[in-house]
Structure 1
Amino acid sequence: MRIGLVGYGHGGRHFHAPLIASLPGAQFVGVVTRSAERRQLLAQDHPGLAAFDSIGQLAEAGVDVLVVSTPLAGRPALVLEAIERGIAVVSDKPFATDAQQAALLIDSAAARQVPLSVYMNRRWDSDFLTVRKLIESGTLGRITRFESKVERYAPQSLGNDSGGGFLRDLGSHLVDQALQLFGPVVRVYAELHYTPEEPEVDHGFFVSLSHVNGVVSHLAGSCLQNSQGPRFRVNGTAGCYTVDGLDGQEQALVAGLSPKTEGERWGVEEHRRWGWFEQGQERERITSERGAWNQFYQQLLQALEQGTALPVDPADALATTQVLDAARLSWLRRQVVELATVSSPEQN
């Protein structure tokens, strides 16, 4: 399986290239980037790997999959170009600027029968996999409230609109995780945060989702938070699970590590980073599941070679985009936004 990468910014360089290069049964063909600086970094990181000026050049070299990791503003056009060339494509997140654009990409891929997936790598975070296991095993009982936060102090991120603002960029992960755990949403309420210096690009958000099944999700993110809250706090009738900090795979990739260099150590969280189960006076450590961002690419190869399910169905990305649209509308209107519910059995 021959894989090409479009874009070698922070995401392409750290979140895609090392995983593609580590993938058994795949060949990393090259990267599309015109930047002299990024070509130098590419040669440093992956000696001998080819750099191309365009998708057309990379396609002529022969690829089975194109991974598009460029700023949001120009990304949909590049995804469409890959689709029109009949090449299976992975879009980085956020998937689209709005649901209309997301639907256009999905419809174009379906019309040409081109596989399309979205890189929602945080479905394979250690902490999220642990939350999912605790919920599915019934350890927490019936879930009543799900709290999910990614907070950091990174003022250098202010004004960075490459992902369409903090809500659409980071929020796409948090919304996707909530939908994976608890299903469709009927109501959305949101608050966005701006600074006087950057009044056009949100640097933080709070979103409340009311799911069809009755669970309420509270999602929040910020790049100007000095005191970080728990990554997850999951309340259920049988107890509460909390965990601090972020999954370690991002830090490892930025440090130059990868599944190839680390082997069985990849994605393993040391015990001091494990979360807690609490109920009344009872408190115990919960062993974290092993993180596995590389599973996205392994499942992608299986899907293309064996016809199994794609690692992320584009319909999931559309649902996430619809919730993000509703969140922005909620902020603009300063009110709760109702979403169309899933059809009833009588309507099917």
Structure 2
Amino acid sequence: MRIGLVGFGQGGRFFHAPLIASLPGVTFAGVVTRSAERRQLLANDYPAVRPFDSLAQLAEAGVDLLVISTSLHGRAEVVMQAIELGIAVVSDKPFAADTVQGQQLMDAAERQNVLLSVYQNRRWDSDFLTVRKLIDAGALGTVTRLESFIERYAPASAGTTSGGGVLRDLGSHLVDQALQLFGPVRSVYAEMASSPQAPDVDHSFFMALTHRNGVVSHLGASVLQNSPRPRFRVSGTSGCYSVEGLDGQEAALLAGRTPKSEGDHWGAEEHRRWGWFEQGEERERVPSEHGGWDQFYRQMIAAVQGQGPVPVLPLEAVQALQVLDAARRGAQLGEVVTLAEG
């Protein structure tokens, strides 16, 4: 299995390349980047991996799977080029600039009979897997409200356009997780904040989703928050689960640790991070499940080999885009937006 990467910015360098290089039986076939600085970083990090000037050159060298991790502006065109070449493709999130663009990519992949998936790696966060396990086991009873936030103080990230703003970037994860847990959304209320220096790029958002099954999801993210809320708080008729802080895989990758270097310890929160189950005066510690962002790639490789579905369906990514589009429209208009069924 030969995997190529397009883009070697922070996403490509830290959140894709280390996972690709850790996969057993995989050849890291090359990276498309024309930046002299990034080519030097590639040579430092992966001396045996060849740089390419274009996706076409990398495809000609031979790849079974292309991973697209470029800036959101222009990303759809690169994904479309991979589809037209007939090569299985993983798109970084956000999948597209809006629902229309995402639908076009999904339709093109279907016409070309090309496998297409979206890198929703946070489906394999330790905390999300713990939430899912508790819900599936009925430990919380009937869930009434999900509260899910990614908040940090990182002012250098405010106003950056590569991910299309915090709503498109981190919101893609939060909406995807909520849809995975509770299904389609009936209505969306949202608020967004941006700075005068970059009025078109939001640095914070809040949204309230009402799912068709009656569950309400409160979602939010910020890169200018000094006092973050819990990562998750899930309330049900039999109790509440909450957990502070973020899954450790992001920090591990930024520190140079990988699934290959860590082995079975990769994704294990162990005693560093516990959640809590609470009901009245009862309070019990809940160990976090084992996270595994590399599982996305393992499932994608299996799909390319004809051994199962892609890990994230394009339709799921388009459904998340519909919610994000509604949130942006509602925040701009100051209205609750109702989504059409179907």
Q: TM-score range by the shorter chain?
A: over 0.9
One-letter amino acid of the structure 1 residue matched with residue 81 of structure 2 = E
How far 1:258 sits from its partner (Å)?
0.4
Q: Is the 8 A contact 2:190 2:331 kept in 1?
A: yes
Partner of 2:92: 92
How far 1:48 sits from its partner (Å)?
1.7
Partner of 1:149: 149
Partner of 1:113: 113
Partner of 2:199: 199
One-letter amino acid of the structure 2 residue matched with residue 61 of structure 1 = A
Partner of 2:285: 285
Matches within 5 A, 1:163-312: 163-312=163-312
Partner of 2:327: 327
SS at match of 1:89: strand
SS at match of 1:201: strand
SS at match of 1:29: strand
Partner of 1:74: 74
Partner of 2:9: 9
How far 1:98 sits from its partner (Å)?
0.6
Distance in 1 (CA, whole Å) between partners of 2:168 and 2:272 is: 31
Q: Is the 8 A contact 2:270 2:287 kept in 1?
A: no
How far 1:315 sits from its partner (Å)?
0.3
Distance in 2 (CA, whole Å) between partners of 1:35 and 1:295 is: 30
Partner of 1:57: 57
One-letter amino acid of the structure 1 residue matched with residue 147 of structure 2 = E
Distance in 2 (CA, whole Å) between partners of 1:200 and 1:60 is: 38
How far 1:277 sits from its partner (Å)?
0.5
Partner of 1:127: 127
SS at match of 1:114: coil
Q: Is the 8 A contact 1:212 1:341 kept in 2?
A: no
SS at match of 1:172: helix
- Is there any run of 5+ residues in structure 2 with no aligned partner, and where? none
Distance in 2 (CA, whole Å) between partners of 1:248 and 1:340 is: 37
Which of structure 1's runs of 4+ aligned residues deviate more than 3 A? none
How far 1:231 sits from its partner (Å)?
0.1
Partner of 1:346: none
SS at match of 1:229: coil
One-letter amino acid of the structure 2 residue matched with residue 234 of structure 1 = V
Give the number of aligned pairs.
Answer: 342
Distance 1:145 1:191, change over 3 A: same
Q: Is the 8 A contact 1:5 1:66 kept in 2?
A: yes
Partner of 2:35: 35
One-letter amino acid of the structure 1 residue matched with residue 156 of structure 2 = Q
TM-score of the aligned structures, taking structure 1 as reference length = 0.97
How far 1:62 sits from its partner (Å)?
0.3
SS at match of 1:153: coil
- Is there any run of 5+ residues in structure 1 with no aligned partner, and where? 343-348
How far 1:341 sits from its partner (Å)?
2.1
Partner of 1:316: 316
How far 1:306 sits from its partner (Å)?
2.7
How far 1:74 sits from its partner (Å)?
1.0
How far 1:272 sits from its partner (Å)?
3.4
Q: Is the 8 A contact 2:125 2:292 kept in 1?
A: yes
- List per-residue Cα deviations over 1:7-32 (Å, max 9, x = no partner): 00000000000000011121110100
